[in-house]
Structure 1
Amino acid sequence: MVWLVRHGQSESNAGAPCALPGESPLTTTGWAQARLVATAMTEQPTMIVTSRYLRARQTAIPATQRFPAAPLTEWPVEEFTYLGSLHGRLMTNEERRPWARAYWTAADPYDVQSPHSESFADMIARADAFVRRVRELPAGFFLVCTHGVFMTAVVWTLSESRSHAVMDMRAFLDFQKSLRIANGSIIRLNPWSRMTVTARDAAVDHLPAHLVTR
């Protein structure tokens, strides 16, 4: 079994400004969500995987503390980063929203806005590479601490990989809005039978209602 876990609530999720996409740490709520993810596990992970972003690495810490013998590694499962022209500018997510809206309205899957950005096609390629890598893993239990848009891309890739629609950014955005991927939520994959998602929405049954945040 593979658990895709969205990181706990970060300071930028909570409205604080940050200058770089990977530097926002968890809030107190985010740490509580991360601890509950660790508590939800009923066996030691074969491997714990994180992205390079701080909030994902912090989300894995309670799991590594509970299961110190589990190997910890980093994979390219970081969040989709497409507004590289804004890197270094201290801004909130709300302040970035006009640029994000313009990017998705243009809907060019091959647009790279700066050397610090990736294209939508690049992100889909990362998601596809993740799926292929997971399929090659031996049977076991793998915890992957990652990010909401990337999780959506993995599900999208599984849903649309045989269709021309996989590069349709507007369709992807509609698909993303149809999902509910809260902080600390879990999407469970079983790659050793037929690679499917066990639930369309990321599970939050391990989180009390007051800790379900987006």
Structure 2
Amino acid sequence: MKQIYLVRHGQSTSNAGGKAQPNAQIELTELGQQQVAEVAEWLEETLGDSVDEVHFSRFIRTQQTAQPYINKVGIEPKVIEGLQEFDYLSFKKTNGTTFATRLQMADEYWLRQDPRQADGEDAESFHEFCERVAGVLEHFKSLPDGNHVVFTHGLWMSMLIWQLLGQPCEDNGHLQKFRQFELSIRPRNCEVFLLTLCEGHPPAITKVRTCAPTPSDVHAT
């Protein structure tokens, strides 16, 4: 049996309404640093020495979130390609814009965007995002039995839950329904969900750590 503890990163500068940055380069705020210290303590108390692997995405904020826990357990972390956040707004378009403008751009994206069309050359389509998350789920199934801690992102976690519920990602209607769904269940910064994978049984996921709400930006990043 595999038990995968999915941790959303601490509050980022983007979550706090800071200036637009390339998604991969967004870092944690001072509050975010406090949050990741707390979730590291929680993970240590919950898992003790019973952790086999630690993973994060290639985006800086998940690596910063993982570091206090890595310092405690001394496990060499691994990057999982595909674990990064949905990069749906082109930075070429958001660069230099205000937070209010980016909110409007996000609303327009979810209302009108073709799921198979990206917002720009430096963005990805909704369909590509869906396939990427599905690919990581298959990777999770190939991991050795045991406890795994995975530091990831809000929209990514919401999409995983969407797929575990058997929901489709094919047309504009599905894109809009996913948006409504993720707004209703979006993990807060440093909340933890437990994904259980057991051969012969369907995957199961449940929230195991709840946090107080903090500001969240248009990307849920």
Name the TM-score, length of structure 2 as normaliser. Answer: 0.85
Q: CA deviation at 1:83?
A: 1.3
Greater mean deviation of Cα atoms: 177-186 or 146-155: 177-186
Q: Are 2:104 and 1:102 equivalent residues in the alignment?
A: no
- Contact 1:50–1:73 (8 Å) recurs in 2: yes
**Separation (CA, whole Å) in 1 of partners of 2:117 and 2:7:** 28
- Contact 1:21–1:87 (8 Å) recurs in 2: no
Greater mean deviation of Cα atoms: 48-57 or 106-115: 106-115
CA spacing shift, 1:35–1:166, aligned 2, 3 Å: same
- Between Structure 1 and Structure 2, which shows a larger proportion of strand residues? 2
List per-residue Cα deviations over 1:150-184 (Å, max 9, x = no partner). Answer: 11011111112xx5x33310110111122041001
3-state SS, counterpart of residue 198 of structure 1:
strand
**Separation (CA, whole Å) in 1 of partners of 2:53 and 2:100:** 36
Aligned-residue Cα RMSD (Å) equals: 1.8
List per-residue Cα deviations over 1:91-129 (Å, max 9, x = no partner). Answer: 454331222111111141101122211110111111101
Hey, what does 1:81 align to over in structure 2? Answer: 87
Q: Are 2:194 and 1:194 equivalent residues in the alignment?
A: no
Q: Are 2:10 and 1:8 equivalent residues in the alignment?
A: yes
Hey, what does 1:71 align to over in structure 2? Answer: 76
**Separation (CA, whole Å) in 2 of partners of 1:79 and 1:92:** 21
Deviation >6 Å, runs of 4+: none
Q: Are 2:32 and 1:30 equivalent residues in the alignment?
A: yes
Ranges in structure 1 where 5+ consecutive residues have no aligned partner: none
Ranges in structure 2 where 5+ consecutive residues have no aligned partner: 217-221
3-state SS, counterpart of residue 116 of structure 2:
coil
**Separation (CA, whole Å) in 1 of partners of 2:151 and 2:116:** 27
Name the TM-score, length of structure 1 as normaliser. Answer: 0.87
Q: CA deviation at 1:23?
A: 1.5
